[in-house]
């Protein structure tokens, strides 16, 4: 009896402890520091909300994340669909191709994009050699290069989450649709797509929240106007050495992320992502 009750705690214990010590405690320290650097004071929050820069960067961050999520969804959904509907052999090959970039560190991938997209990079040179352009395009250090880099890095997350959700769609339902007169496209529109929506909601949320905190990729590929909130936090803490302000901006990011998750969950119950019913 007591062993039966102890077991869940034994299994959960290590991960709970780990998260307490290395996640919740630092977050707590950060929140405390945002108000107590020089005695208790909300000065840091005052400057966050009165300096336009912070809010502008927060908006840029939300906008970039939204575009990245949309890009990942547009590219990822067809790929996940192909994965979910392929035979075992093609599926295995495709999965390797999807996961392969995941094994490569994203700093390396961001640098690779610099090489590809730079003024004398592969892309510009190819376009010039083909005679399509006369002078190199400035692609690097724009919103576009940030989006391209981030979409490429986050695509596997989107694809794998969508794929997992699509695998749970009973293939018998598609047979039933066909047997009752639905063409492949009607079957997709009326049956497969609606049933994949919970997976779409979940995958979008995951991608969006992950991209909110991106640092390296926008730092390497973006221009000054494309600064994201994580870069700002680094600048404030390591260049300006203003720890309470950096903490306050971090708390802002944390609150915005949590708020999005909570609101989103109200509309598109996240539980469905993990197989629960609506």
Partner 1 sequence: MGAEAARSPGAAVVLERLTKRFGTVLALDRVSLEVPSGSFVTFLGPSGSGKTTTLNVIAGFLEPDEGEVFIDGRPISRTPTHRRDLGMVFQSYALFPHMTVFDNVAFPLRMRTRLPKMELERAVEAALALVHLAGLGGRYPRQLSGGQQQRVATARALVSRPRLLLMDEPLGALDKKLREQMQVEMKSIHRAVGSTFLYVTHDQEEALAMSDVVVVMRDGRIEQVGSPRDLYAAPASEFVADFLGSANLLPGRVVGREGDAALLALDGGTRLRVPHDPDGPAAGAAVKLLVRPEDVEVHLGDRADGGRQTVPGKVSEIIYLGEMTRVVVDTAEGVIVARLAGRRGGELALGHAVAVSWPPTAVRLLPASPGS
Residues of the shown chain interacting with partner 1 in the complex, contacts defined by CB under 8 A? 170, 172-173, 175-184, 186-187, 190-191, 194-195, 277
CA dist 172 to 46, 169, 195, Å?
A: 58, 9, 13
Q: Which CB sits closer to partner 1, 50 or 277?
A: 277
Q: Which residue has the tokens 């009973």?
A: 170
Q: Which CB sits closer to partner 1, 119 or 189?
A: 189
Contact residues for 180 (Cβ-Cβ < 8 A; gap 6+): none
Q: Which CB sits closer to partner 1, 116 or 182?
A: 182
Length of the chain as a residue count: 278
In whole angstroms, the minimum distance from the beta carbon of 152 to partner 1 comes to: 33
C-alpha 193/C-alpha 190 separation (Å) is 7
Instruction: Report residue 231 as tokens.
Output: 């870069």
C-alpha 223/C-alpha 217 separation (Å) is 11
Q: Which CB sits closer to partner 1, 13 or 276?
A: 276
Which helix (H) or strand (E) segment is 196 a member of?
helix 193-212
């Amino acid at each position: 009896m007591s062993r039966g009750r102890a077991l869940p705690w034994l299994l959960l214990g290590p991960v709970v402890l780990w998260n307490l010590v290395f996640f919740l405690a630092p977050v707590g320290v950060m929140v405390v520091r945002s108000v107590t650097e020089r005695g208790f004071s909300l000065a840091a929050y005052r400057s966050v909300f009165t300096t336009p820069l912070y809010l502008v960067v927060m908006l840029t961050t939300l906008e970039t994340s939204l575009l990245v999520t949309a890009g990942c969804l547009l590219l990822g959904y067809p790929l996940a669909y192909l994965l979910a509907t392929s035979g075992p052999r093609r599926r295995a090959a495709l999965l390797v191709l999807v996961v392969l970039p995941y094994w490569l560190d994203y700093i390396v991938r961001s640098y690779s994009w610099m090489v590809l997209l730079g003024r004398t990079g592969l892309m510009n040179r190819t376009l010039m050699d083909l005679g399509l352009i006369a002078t190199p395009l400035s692609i690097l250090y724009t919103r576009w290069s940030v989006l391209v880099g981030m979409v490429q890095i986050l695509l596997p997350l989107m694809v794998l989450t969508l794929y997992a959700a699509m695998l749970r769609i009973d293939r018998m339902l598609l047979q039933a649709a066909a047997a009752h007169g639905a063409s492949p496209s009607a079957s997709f529109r009326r049956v497969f797509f609606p049933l994949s929506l919970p997976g779409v909601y979940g995958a979008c949320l995951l991608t969006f929240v992950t991209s909110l905190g991106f640092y390296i990729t926008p730092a390497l590929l973006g221009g000054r106007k494309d600064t994201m909130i994580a870069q700002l936090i680094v600048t404030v803490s390591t260049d300006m050495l203003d720890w309470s302000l950096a903490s306050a901006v971090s708390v802002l990011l944390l609150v915005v992320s949590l708020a999005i998750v909570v609101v989103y969950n109200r509309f598109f119950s996240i539980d469905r992502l993990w197989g629960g019913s609506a």
